[in-house]
Amino acid sequence: MLPDSIGEEEEQERQEISIRQMDIDDVAAVYHLGEHLFTSEELPILYRTWDAYEVADYFTSDPDYCLVAEIGGRVVGFILATTFEKEGTAWKKYGYVSWIGVDEAFQGSNLARRLYARLEDKLEDHGVRMIIADTEGDNEKAIGFFKKMGFSARSQHVWLAKTLQRPGRPAPPKRGARGRLAARLKKAGSKGDAD
């Protein structure tokens, strides 16, 4: 019986979940977890905007609103948020949920709900009257999740993207009729020179 009870105890300890404020040692783990979740195929905009500086910036400017879910010493979920104030608006102080993610192996076990609930309590304590979140229009998981948390879609938000020419590789100039004529004349002239 003893080995069994030790096994059970270990299993329980392994599964013990803590929702806590992020600390400096979690920055790398949060970043890497996000890298797995925000993939270029499924969530291209989130993938492109997610980087280590993003995590570090939220952590240094709003540590109160950066939380992680930890199981057996491993970070398996996070939420990063901030607040802003806007004078002259009905709600004045707003919360903004910028990033939330849960390791796929632990999705569907209420971790995101717990992370969000803890954040919402903090925001409410700090005078926030409205919380805003956004995500890609086809991110059904996130939209389903936020709706369950009581959010409603307020407006359509469209991401636009433009690919710019690589620096150092200017596009070849387009030649109009005059340009082509000038080039031919130049070529003819240089042939004449060589003859």
Ligand X SMILES: CC(C)(COP(=O)(O)OP(=O)(O)OC[C@H]1O[C@@H](n2cnc3c(N)ncnc32)[C@H](O)[C@@H]1OP(=O)(O)O)[C@@H](O)C(=O)NCCC(=O)NCCS
Q: Rounded to the nearest whole angstrom, what is the least distance from the CB of residue 135 to ligand X in the complex?
A: 4
73: left (phi over 0), alpha (psi -120 to 50) or beta: left
Q: Rounded to the nearest whole angstrom, what is the least distance from the CB of residue 181 to ligand X in the complex?
A: 56
- Phi then psi dihedrals of residue 131, to 5 deg: -115, 135
* Neighbour tally for 175: CB within 10 Å: 11
Q: Binding to ligand X by residue 102, rule CB under 6 A?
A: yes
CA end-to-end distance (rounded Å), the chain? 103
- Please choose, from the candidates 94, 70, 68, the residue with its C-alpha nearest in 3D space to the C-alpha of residue 79: 68
Q: Binding to ligand X by residue 145, rule CB under 6 A?
A: yes
Q: Of the ranges 14-22, 102-110, 153-161, 177-185, which one interacts with ligand X (CB under 6 A)?
A: 102-110
Q: Binding to ligand X by residue 82, rule CB under 6 A?
A: no
Residues 105-124 that bind ligand X (CB under 6 A): 107-113
Of 22, 27, 30, 37, the residue at the interface with ligand X (CB under 6 A) is: 37
Joined together, the tokens standing for residue 20 give 């806590």
Three-state secondary structure string covering 88-146: CCCCCEEEEEEEEEECHHHCCCCHHHHHHHHHHHHHHHCCCCEEEECCCCCCHHHHHHH
Which is closer to ligand X, CB of 27 or CB of 34? 34
Q: Binding to ligand X by residue 7, rule CB under 6 A?
A: no
Q: Binding to ligand X by residue 55, rule CB under 6 A?
A: no
Find the helix or strand (DSSP H, E) in which 142 lies. Answer: helix 140-148
Size of the site for ligand X (CB under 6 A): 22
Of 63, 144, 179, 189, the residue at the interface with ligand X (CB under 6 A) is: 144
Q: Binding to ligand X by residue 131, rule CB under 6 A?
A: no
Applying CB under 6 A, the residues found at the interface with ligand X are 37, 43, 46, 99-102, 107-113, 135, 139-142, 144-145, 148
